[in-house]
Structure 1
Amino acid sequence: MEYAILDIETTGGKFNEEGITEIAIYRFNGIKVVDQFASLVNPERPIQPFVVNLTGINSEMLRNAPKFYEVAKRIIEMTEGAVLVAHNANFDNRILTTEFDRLGYNFDMETLCTVELAKKLIPDMPSYSLGKLVRSLGIPLSDRHRAQGDAKATVELFKLLLLKDENREIVKQLVKKEPKKQINTKLLDIIKSSTSDTGVYYLHNENGDIIYIGKSKNIKKRLTQHFTSDNRKSKQIQQEVSSVTFDKTGNDLVAQLLESDQIKRHKPKFNRALRKSIFNYQLGSIVDEDGYINLKIEKEDSRKKAITTFTSFQSAKNSLEGIIAKYGLCQRLGGFHKTEEACFSYTIKECNGACVQEEAPEAYNERVQVFLDEYSYASKNMLVIDKGRDRDERSVVLIENGIFKGFGFYTLNHQITQPEILKSIIRPMKNNRDSQHIIQTYLKKRKVIKTINLDTNTES
């Protein structure tokens, strides 16, 4: 799916008699800008004085600018096969259609309006004018009321709206309107036009319905596997798939969180195994009568506070054994030795004697707390910062009071240091055992760019 995101400045005047004075178009493939065009245009008619004051564009500036017919071919190249996106798209589309009508060319495009989308996806904003809206969202805007500055800001706004579109209504509606093609040719076209970046991909049938959701560090490679595999599930997908859309995430943490959320939200027919949580065991803790913190593996129970979760008892056992060894904890207080006597590790001098009260509870619990601080984000207020969808962008995962709130992307530090802007760029997501497990496992095994403790405003 490609988009032509544009902004037009006009002369003003009577309805359908306006002329274009400036146009800027960014060709956007859902991930990044792949082409751009901007030009002043000689409208061959007077500019209204209030427009001159608003835009700063006057007749003298346009004297040697190309006339519309001289840039028309480039505009068609920039918009062909794309969806026209603009802030107040009806206006921009009407102006372009009128100009092309004067040349005898039928300009007919599907449109998306970022004003309407913003009202639906980001409700209760104080204003939906482009300048005030992007300022509220922390999106930079230079050269207000000039085509290139406004179009560039609309690109960033549209990226955010795609992120906020949790039910993917934007893409699903457009997929329905695409013409049908022969399935074999389409599979090859899908692979060729896909990205090799990290992200989440959505397989659609001919009605636009999502039939499968997956994530990959290389979407193109994963799609090739889907479309060349001969197992039963892959063959069924190959028969039913009509098109693929994707969300680039920049890193695997956001991809995992988004995939988990979207599968539960859409319940695709070929994702049956992942529609519900499959964590059967959890790691919990209690303080015993002697004051020692005991770690224990228990059956999954949403009523109890879990440090982390596991798909099987064996994976829980292996993880806890590693934790005990790494932090110098006691096997008996970890639930491995049911005896009231000293644990085996004590006999080989690898346990400091908490099992027989030789080590004070305060000293033992301090090591347990180090583990809890490193392993769990319970009760923490923090940001997890990692790579974004392009070189100048970063992703941010927001956790408040130990609860996962969602993720977003930013380019300027003030977008995450100002709470009201941070909240507006975050895509809300449900906090559940799956998201908790994904974040904890990722932080334990992978290295992110940094984490920020919001309580102390410190980085690590």
Structure 2
Amino acid sequence: MIPARLAFIALETTGANPLRDRITRIDVLEAEGDRVATWSTLVNPQRSIPEFIQQVNGIRNETVVDAPPFAQVAAELADRLHGRLLIARHARFNYGFVKSEFQRLGKSFRADVLCTVRLSRKLFPAHQKHKLDSLMIRHDLATGDRCRALTDVHRLWQFWRLLQRDCGEEALAEAVRQQLERPSLPPHLDPALLDDLPESPGVYLFYGDNDALLYVGKSVNLRQRVRAHFASDLRDYKEMRLSQQVHRMHWHETVGELGALLLESRLVKECQPIHNRRLRRSSDLCTWQWVQVVPGECRLTLVSGQAADFVRSEGLFGLFANRREATETLREMAAAHQLCPIILGLERPARPGRPCFAHQVGQCRGACVGKEALGVHSARMLSALTKLKLAAWPYPGAIGIVERDELREVEEVHVVNGWRHLGSARSETGIQQILLGQSGQGRFDRDTYRLLAAHLGKGRVRVRLLSER
């Protein structure tokens, strides 16, 4: 069933960030059946409009100097939108600005929101473009001055009526239902929390009875991921069980995906949530170290994560949760490459000069009894280990991995030294505070190593050299 009371809304703003920028124009088209009414007002943003924004939408500083501030039009806007389904192009953008303006006045604003871009994608999946201009051209709808927001709400109204006519009420109602469908929330959670969730990267935390931490997760879109948790609770037993236990939710926004990954890994290891298993810290972390016994002959030694020099060493292979995992990996490698278990330290010889069992069954080339030179065996062993080789820290000291969100105009620097994530900061002062305390911060962690090695290896991150050793 499609809601009968609709409000098509279009805004002009001083920028793209609802937390910092302000509205400069509001246009609303109210529709109920065939009855339509429009309302439009300029808004004084009480700050200067950037020059490039003035060129884009034609609203200049002198245009709004005598316009009312949002506080003076808030009551009328709330009255016009009350009880209506909000329809807009990129609806979350428009809704985010309206909601932020009301929040600055200490007032709450909530509404169901429908995005015409998503609606068009759903109903016309064969088409590639779904922005308003593309819809106008494709569906031969009336056009006008593109910079006038009031024109946009009339275009949206035209597009809506076209959908009713060409797609049919049933198909349109189903597309609307899917977009507005709310997840099955845990009984203890406030439904308003879903509206507060940002569509940005970050980490979310679910708490249960007695404020016990149940789960830590991350996403590049917090709102979408958390909603997905509860939307699937009836189809997946684990999700259903978690959903029933959640009493409280909290989240941390990050600038980008790497920040979310690092924060999730740290919180899981520090807090040990009940439902997290994969990122738990391993207290028995170990690695194989390549040690030269004599020139041309090398052996492997298992060293603990605390004893290994992950910064300088070039001869470390593999990161293992415990000794058993390390040993099993080495056994598999020996079998695959016909290496000698005695030379690898995996088997004791029955007596001096006696071949290993693998050689007796044709799975070792005989280094244990002199049939293969130890130097040749060492070379083959090193070749087999190549895929497990750990990278030595490639910088002279601490670095900052910079993540920036151009839309929100925020930047975060992840301070890293010797594959240890020391902390993240959004200011130079914060970076220096992390560096001053780095000697007592962080410990080597294999999940963090893998994250950092992957991102640095791709060469797609901006790196700042912060200090030398």
TM-score range relative to shorter protein: 0.3 to 0.5
Bigger-Rg structure (1/2):
2
TM-score (norm. length: structure 1)? 0.44
